[in-house]
Amino acid sequence: MNILVCVKRVPLTGGKITLTEDEQAIQTRHLGFTVSPHEECAAEEAIRLVEAHGGESVVLTLGPAEAEEQLRDMMAIGIDRGIHLVTDGGEWDPQATAAAIVDAVRADGTQFDLLLFGNESADAGNYQVAVRVAYALGLPVVNGIKGISVDGAGLRCERERTSHPPGRDVYAVPMPAVVTVLEGINLPRYPSVPGRMRAKRKPLAAAEPARAQPRLEMVRLKLPASSSKQAEVLGHGADAAPRVVEILSEIGVM
Amino acid sequence: MSATLVFMESADDELSQQAVTFAGQLGGEMSAVAIDAGEAYAPAAWAQTLVELAQERGATAVVGPGTDRGNEVLAHVAAKLDQPMSANCMNVTPGEPATVTRMRWGGSLLEEARVHGAPLLLTVAPHAVAATPAADVQVMAVSGSASDADRVVRVSETVPASTAGVSLADADVVVSGGRGVGSSEGFSVIEELAALLGGAVGCSRAVTSAGWRPHSDQVGQTGTKISPEIYIACGISGATQHMAGCKGAKRLLAINPDGEASIFASADYAVIGDLHEVVPAISAEIRKARGT
């Protein structure tokens, strides 16, 4: 089973987001970076499926030169090789991103049985890159999946229902297919030291795709209207308990 | 002449009704449609139905709710038409190009964008506007001209949830623990307080990553979005990832030993202290008040 997993490098935002002066990006001078959470689970799922069924796992990212760090991280937990679509770090809209991924899949030449994505990226949250890739490649696509098992020549995919009645919707999807997953489908492993050593030697191909004119064109970022509150301090330590219970009574949850 | 087509999950779905209100900003004729509840969910076939309807009616915009299915169906419409799609919009100004304000980072950041394409395709961020029940919702079957390929991905079976306890998303009280809880066992005090208040237990992403609690307990951008009467956050620092999941709470009580923790900037009530002392003291006080 050959699996491609697409990931995105995003900043670890911590408690407060600050923007750059030109309002085009988050100020990341003091921040670390990570793989967007749903996609980290997609990589873990790819590794588990290849462990169980054989084949090859490949990780792809579109991002700046520094995004090699995230590709090596995914190879350190067990992905076999990487494809880096190197950008100058500027914003790529969903259509341009999908087109670059489609070109890279065709150029790689591997017959992928499964293309895994996160349901949406942590930062841009456009909810559409995987769907566009699926249409361009003529593949079925199923979104928001929290359980995958191989069932003959296809996949059984489960998605939690957010509407009534509660439960899980099941999709039977023939391969090859595009699947987007949600965090919680698995608990991603941490890289080991030997894993990190091996990752340094794993193959990493790079290409520099040309960026198409954005059709969803970001003009600027802004912070939501501040809802900064002045919290009422109910007390320090255990002594605060009686006042907390008064508040709970007032609210009517006692 | 502008005409807007609104996709509703159902006529009485609140977030879909919000999408109808939002679409009012676009002016012109508006029609609202929902797919018959008897039809199996098949996103590509549903999208094909909308595409045909939009073409028939000369729609200049297709709008959906910013729900799992709303975002998914609109993404399919966008891929079929090869047009841009803006997910989770807070605001729109029609024009050529149209401009939108949309949510990033689960609402912790906003983006202003120009949309170069037609028809205008967008979904509406949950709770960006109040809901208006649509006067006239057309409930329709999936288009007969949806192809076999459009019908490949469809819900073939629904497995019911095992209903145990109060669900996190619906609970009136949520008591959550963060990294400050320190261990899986440390959650016993959180569980005790939640049980006394008939509430649900939640946690932060740091806790699920450490394996102390299952992901189904996680409150946050990539976990459950909650809207309780009161949210009691214990030993949680207040990362944007977490706050994106609890901003729907009516009141927030934060318990943290660090008076500078960023969660206090979003809190209504603060207790400065170690949750391992404060939480059992609250539980004891509740028992005392109830005389048990």
- Is B167 among the domain residues? no
Task: Name A233's bridge partners.
Answer: B270
Q: What percent of chain A has pLDDT over 70?
A: 99
Distance from the Cα of A151 to chain B's closest Cα (Å) equals 14
Q: Which residues of A touch B264 (CB under 8 A)?
A: 231
**B11 and B126 assigned to the same domain:** yes
Q: Are strands B3-8 and B29-35 parallel, antiparallel or unpaired?
A: parallel
d(CA B141, CA B50) in angstroms, rounded, equals: 11
Domain range holding A8?
3-224
Is A23 in contact with A220 (CB distance < 8 Å)?
A: yes
Residue B254, chain A, CB below 8 Å: the answer is yes
Is B25 among the domain residues? yes
Which residues, at least 6 apart from B103, have a Cβ–Cβ distance to it below 8 Å? A125, B66, B87, B88, B89, B90, B109, B110, B111, B125
Mean pLDDT of A225-243: 90
Q: Are residues B207 and B277 in the same domain?
A: yes
d(CA A21, CA A16): 16
Alpha-carbon gap: A68 to the closest alpha carbon of chain B (Å): 23
Least CA distance to B262: which residue of chain A? A15
Residue A13 in any domain: the answer is: yes
Provide the pLDDT for residue A176. 98
DSSP B47: H
Report the alpha-carbon distance of residue B11 to residue A67 in Å, rounded.
45
User: The dihedral of CA B245, B250, B255, B259: what is its sign?
Assistant: positive
pLDDT tens across the length of chain B (292 residues): 789 999 999 999 999 999 999 999 998 899 999 999 899 999 999 999 999 999 999 999 999 999 999 999 999 999 999 999 999 999 999 999 999 999 999 999 999 999 999 999 999 999 999 998 777 899 999 998 999 999 999 999 999 887 667 889 999 999 999 999 999 999 999 999 999 999 999 999 999 999 999 999 999 999 999 999 999 999 999 999 999 999 999 999 999 999 999 999 999 999 999 999 999 999 999 999 998 7
pLDDT of B163: 66
Does the pTM surpass 0.90? The reply is yes
Which of A155, A244, A250, A251 to mutate: most B Cβ within 10 Å?
A244
Mutation for testing the B interface, residue in A10, A41, A128 having most B CBs under 10 Å: A128
**Does residue B105 form part of some domain?**
yes
With both helix axes pointing from N to C terminus, report the angle between B188-196 and B275-290 in degrees, rounded to the nearest 10: 30
Cis peptide before A64 (omega within 30 of 0): no
Whichever domain contains B202, its CATH number is 3.40.50.1220
The pLDDT assigned to A230 comes to: 86
- For B130, the domain range is 3-151
CA A67 to chain centre: 13
Which H or E element spans position B174? strand B173-177
> In chain A, which residue's Cα lies nearest the Cα of B121?
A216
Of A95, A238, A247, the CB nearest to B84: A95
CATH number of the domain enclosing B114 = 3.40.50.620
Tokens of B66: 């910013």
> Both tokens of residue A147?
């359980």
- Residue B52: inside a domain, yes or no? yes
Residue A209 lies in a domain: yes
Cis status of the peptide bond prior to A176, with omega within 30 of 0: yes
pLDDT in tens, B101-145: 999 999 999 999 999 999 999 999 999 999 987 778 999 999 989
Do B61 and B11 belong to one domain?
Answer: yes
Q: Total domain count for chain A?
A: 1
- β-partners of residue A243 are none
The pLDDT value given to residue B1 = 73
Q: CB of A37 within 8 Å of any CB in chain B?
A: yes
A122 touches chain B (CB under 8 A): yes
- Residues B74 and B118 reside in one and the same domain: yes
Residues in contact with A112: Cβ distance below 8 Å, sequence separation at least 6, in sequence order: A2, A3, A4, A58, A105, A176
Determine contact, residues A198/B193, Cβ cutoff 8 Å. Answer: no
Question: Does residue B108 belong to the interface with chain A, where contact is any CB pair within 8 Å?
Answer: yes
In a domain, A244, yes or no: no
The backbone torsions φ and ψ at residue A64, rounded to the nearest 5 degrees and listed phi first, read -65, 170
pLDDT in tens, A178-225: 999 999 999 999 999 999 999 999 999 999 999 999 999 999 999 998
Residues 6+ away with beta carbon under 8 Å from A117: A5, A6, A39, A42, A129, A130, A133, A178, A179, A180, A181
Contact B83 A220 (CB under 8 A): no
Residues B146 and B269 occupy one common structural domain: no
Query: How many beta-carbon contacts under 8 Å exist across A and B?
Result: 272
Neighboring chain A residues of B222 at a CB cutoff of 8 Å: 37-38, 122, 182-184
Interface contact flag, A128 B229, Cβ < 8 Å: no
Whether residue B203 is found in the same domain as residue B245: yes
Chain A neighbours among B 216-245 (CB < 8 Å)? 216, 218, 221-223, 229-230, 237-241
> What per-residue confidence (pLDDT) applies to B164?
67
Interface probe, candidates A10, A186, A248, A250, chain B, greatest B C-beta count within 10 A: A248
Residue listed under structure tokens 């999908």: A98
Q: Which residues pair with A3 in a beta bridge?
A: A57, A114
Q: Which two tokens stand for residue B272?
A: 């400065």
Residue at B243 is within a domain? yes
Determine, yes or no, domain membership for A234. Answer: no
Give the integer Cα–Cα distance in Å for A169 and A158.
6
Q: Which of B1, B27, B148, B47 is nearest to B92 (CA)?
A: B27
User: Considering only alpha carbons, which residue of chain B is nearest residue A180?
Assistant: B72
Place of tokens 């019911």: B160
Please count the residues of chain B: 292
Q: At A192, phi and psi to the nearest 5?
A: -90, 165
In-domain check, residue A57:
yes
Nearest to B222 among A183, A228, A247 (CB): A183
Q: Is B41 inside a domain boundary? A: yes
Chain B touched by A164 (CB under 8 Å)? no
Min distance B222 CA to chain A CA atoms (Å): 6
B163 within domain boundaries: no
CATH code at position A24: 3.40.50.620
Q: In whole angstroms, what is the distance from residue B119 CA to residue A230 CA?
A: 45
Residues of chain A in contact with residue B230, where contact means CB-CB under 8 angstroms, are 248, 251, 253
A48 belongs to a structural domain: yes
Structure tokens at A10: 């995003």
* Residue B110, SS3 per DSSP: strand
B132 and B192 share a domain? no
The angle subtended at Cα A181 by Cα A176 and Cα A182, nearest 5°, is 175
Please give the pLDDT value at position A227: 65
Chain A nearest CA to B57, separation (Å): 24
Total tally of structural domains belonging to chain B: 2
Phi, psi (5° rounding) for residue B141? -80, 160
3-state secondary structure (DSSP) of residue A56: coil
> Mind listing the pLDDT tens digit for each residue in A71-126?
999 999 999 999 999 999 999 999 999 999 999 999 999 999 999 999 999 999 99
Q: Which chain A residues in 142-161 lie under 8 Å from chain B, judged by CB atoms? A: 142-144, 158-159, 161
Residue A198 domain-assigned? yes
Q: Is residue A229 assigned to a domain?
A: no
